[in-house]
Amino acid sequence: AMGLTDRRRAIVLFGDSLTQRSFEPSGWGAALAHLYGRRCDVYNRGFGGYNTRWCRSMVGELFPADETPLLATVLLGTNDAALFDVEPAAHVPLEEYEDNLTAIVTHLKSRCVHVMVLTPPCMDERQRLAFQKEKYGADAIGVLDRSNANTERYARCAARVAKKLNVPCVDLFEATWKACGVSPHEKKVARQDSVDPWAEPSAASATNASASETKASACEDVFVDGVHFSAFGQKLVFQTLTERIRAYVSSFHETGKTNDTYTLDPELMDSDWPFGPVLRGEPGEWRDKMYAHARSATIAPTLRSGDTKSRSVWRVEASAYADAENRLGRGLAALAVAAGVGLGMGYALGSAARR
C-alpha cells in the first residue's frame, strides 16, 4: 500500500529542547523543512530537558532496523552540562556523556545514510540569571545552573566523538560564541562574576566591564533566556548547519563517493511529484507528465524498506493502463452502438424498399 512517506526521504532531528523548539515559527528545523520541501520530510524528535543518558535508552526504538533516514542530526549536551550541585538529575559526567554520545551516533550510523553531530552552544550567563530572577522572583536560587566554562568541555567532547566516528561536526559553541562578539579563545565570564546581574561592578572588575557588557548585550540577541535560541539564534543555527551540509556535499561529489540517490543537496533531489508549473500547458498532457516523472525521477524514500520506486511506478502505470482501457472500452462501446444503429437503419430502409 502506498502512503505519505513513499515518495520522500526522511531527515530526523534528534536532541533536547534546542531541537524540540527548532519548529518554532523562526526555528532552524522549520527552515530546514522549507529548504527540503517536496523532497524530504523533516521529523522533529527533540525532547525538552533530556540528556544523553535518557536519549540513549530511546534511540533503538526511535531508529529501528527497517527504517533508513537520509540524515539524522544529533544535538545533545546542554542538559548533560548542567552543574551537579544545582541540577543533579540532569547532570551527566563528561566521561559518561562521551560514552553515551558515542553509542547514540554509532547506532545512528548503522541506520542512517548520513549523520551530523551538533555541539551544544554557549550560553548567556547574565541573561540566564536575569531570566531566573524574572521567572521565580524571590524563590530564584541566584546561582547559575550551567556555565560556559563547563559547557565548552562538553562541546569539545562532542567534536571529538564526531571525529572519532568520522561524521561531520557542526560547532555551535564556536558559532554562538563568535556571535556574542568574543573569540572562542578569549576568557569566558566566570560563574562567580555573574551571580547577581543587578550588582554594581567591583573596582577589581571595572577594567573588564566594557568587553563583558558588550558580550552580554550581543548574547541577548542569540538567546531568549540564556540557553534557548531567539529568532536570531535560530537563524544562526540554520546558517551554520547548512554551511556545513554544503561543505560536506561538495567533498563527497568531488571524490565521487555519492550519487543523486543519497545526496544532501536539495537541488539535486527529484521532487515527490512534478511541480505545478511542469503540469501546466495543454490540459490533456498532465497525466503523461506525471507518468514520465514517475519513470525518470529518483524516488528513494527512507522510512520504508523494499522497492518502493517500482511499486510507485507500477501504480502510475496501472492507473494509466486502466485509463487507456477505459477509453478503449468507451470507444468500442460507442462503435457497437453506432454499428447497432447502422444495422437498425439498414434493416428499416430495406423493409421500406421491399414494400
Domain range annotation of the chain? 10-185+221-267, 270-300
pLDDT at 73: 98
Does position 323 have pLDDT exceeding 90, yes or no?
A: no
Q: Strands 40-46, 71-75: parallel, antiparallel or unpaired by DSSP?
A: unpaired
- What's the grid cell of residue 331? 470507444
Does position 319 have pLDDT exceeding 90, yes or no?
A: no
- What's the grid cell of residue 70? 537520509
Does position 300 have pLDDT exceeding 90, yes or no?
A: no
What is the C-alpha to C-alpha distance for residues 339 and 343, in angstroms, rounded to an integer? 6
Please, which residues have CB within 8 angstroms of residue 56's CB and are 6 or more apart in sequence? 100, 103, 104
Q: Specify the range with the lowest mean pLDDT, choosing from 204-208, 253-257, 302-306.
A: 204-208
3-class SS at 340? helix
List the catalytic residues.
17
Report the DSSP beta bridge partners of residue 118: 75, 170
Q: Which DSSP helix (H) or strand (E) runs through 19?
A: helix 17-20
- What's the grid cell of residue 269? 533531489
Mean pLDDT in residue range 122-145: 91
Report the DSSP beta bridge partners of residue 170: 118
Evaluated on CA atoms 19, 22, 23, 28, the torsion sign reads negative
pLDDT at 260: 59
Does position 12 have pLDDT exceeding 70, yes or no?
A: yes
- What's the grid cell of residue 342? 447502422
Q: Residue 281: left if φ>0, alpha if ψ -120 to 50, beta else—which one?
A: left
* Position 144 confidence tier, pLDDT thresholds 50, 70, 90: very high
CB 142 within 8 A of CB 129: yes
What is the C-alpha to C-alpha distance for residues 352 and 238, in angstroms, rounded to an integer? 87
What is the C-alpha to C-alpha distance for residues 147 and 291, in angstroms, rounded to an integer? 57
What is the C-alpha to C-alpha distance for residues 235 and 181, in angstroms, rounded to an integer? 17
Report the DSSP beta bridge partners of residue 280: none
CA atoms within 13 A on the CB side of 30: 12
Report the DSSP beta bridge partners of residue 46: 15
Task: Please list, residue by residue across 269-298, b when 16 or more beta carbons sit within 10 angstroms of its beta carbon and e when fewer do.
Answer: bbbbbbeeeeeeeeeeeeeebbbebbeebe
Mean pLDDT of the chain: 81
> What residue type is 256 in one-letter code?
G
3-class SS at 45? strand
CATH C-level class of 10-185+221-267: alpha beta
Give the length of the chain: 355
Q: Strands 9-15, 71-75: parallel, antiparallel or unpaired by DSSP?
A: parallel
What is the C-alpha to C-alpha distance for residues 111 and 47, in angstroms, rounded to an integer? 20
What is the C-alpha to C-alpha distance for residues 104 and 157, in angstroms, rounded to an integer? 14
pLDDT at 187: 41
> What residue type is 132 in one-letter code?
Q
What is the C-alpha to C-alpha distance for residues 117 and 76, in angstroms, rounded to an integer? 9
CB 47 within 8 A of CB 76: no
Residue found under cell 540528556: 51
Global pTM? 0.78
* Position 163 confidence tier, pLDDT thresholds 50, 70, 90: very high
Q: Residue 116: left if φ>0, alpha if ψ -120 to 50, beta else—which one?
A: beta
CB 117 within 8 A of CB 244: no
Q: What percent of the chain has pLDDT over 90?
A: 57
